[in-house]
Structure 1
């Protein structure tokens, strides 16, 4: 029993030692620096990149806050339709008008927001 346990411990220690990596043989005194990358299997290069952006959405002025919010909703719907029409290659991932902020001005109340969207852009063919 002791012999089996000792053999098993030596076997496990041998496996642990076989998986260590030494970087002593790599010169690291270059001006550019040294990058070490350890990967398993094949490397996969990305074909797409995710791009995030924002746009300002503003509705027409209205004498009442409710009317200004309705105008903002129309502007938001138009902006979404415009972005979706430009989405020829199914690149659009997320589309959000954001929350409106209404401000009273001389000619009425105007609601604005910052809309955001994410696109999947091809970087390799």
Structure 2
């Protein structure tokens, strides 16, 4: 169980590193775009594969998110990474920030996606 907790804490630290890397001006645009997608998905309360589906529900949490983090970390220059690691460690000691605007934006985007799917399904069956 301790191994799993350490793995989860490391994963959380890496997401915070990506969060800071996205905000860094020295990171290339393509890395920022991919990193933004990974961070938003990691922090999003809604998953592509719903968690209540047996086994497959946790597939994104165990495989998709870590793979996305791994690829995003490889896209970011080493000097940017080292600065972002320091910032992430500081933030983890002080507690994560609460950004209600970004959180609201994530919920709004997912709500619009679900609404579009409902409208399309309604049109399809009527």
Higher strand share: 1
Higher helix share: 2
TM-score computed with the length of structure 1 as normaliser:
0.26
